[in-house]
Amino acid sequence: MHYLLFYEAGSDYATHRTPYRDEHLRKAWEASDRGELLVGGGLANPLDGSVLLFQGDSPTVAENFAKADPYVVHGVISRWYVREWTTVVGKLASNPVRPGGA
């Protein structure tokens, strides 16, 4: 299954994340290398949050990432939440569905 981790940032996100960015990116790349994090990045125009796409058997992998992320630990992120995402189209779809049910 796929899980989206949404981060909502407080004001001046770009400045407040700076001291923690390398550690955040290191943890993200480690999660990616383990096959847990497929893709992630900041929302732009305005830069006010991020979305990270995880895969796993439960939302725990995304939740554990957030709980240990320096952005969350140090209050850069004002709110985070995880949503299950039923992906049905594309090479990475966890539940592929073709026209006609085939």
Angle (CA) 69 75 76, round 5°: 80
Assess whether pLDDT exceeds 80 at residue 102.
no
Mean pLDDT of 55-71: 97
Domain 2-88 falls under CATH 3.30.70.1060: yes
pLDDT per position as a tens digit, 80-89: 999 999 999 9
The confidence score (pLDDT) of residue 65 equals: 98
Assess whether pLDDT exceeds 80 at residue 101.
no
**Alpha carbon distance 102, 95 (integer Å):** 12
Assess whether pLDDT exceeds 90 at residue 100.
no
pLDDT per position as a tens digit, 10-54: 788 999 999 999 999 999 999 999 999 999 999 999 999 999 999
Q: What is the 3-state secondary structure (H, E, C) of 68-87?
A: HCHHHHCCCEEEEEEEEECC
pTM: 0.92
The confidence score (pLDDT) of residue 62 equals: 98
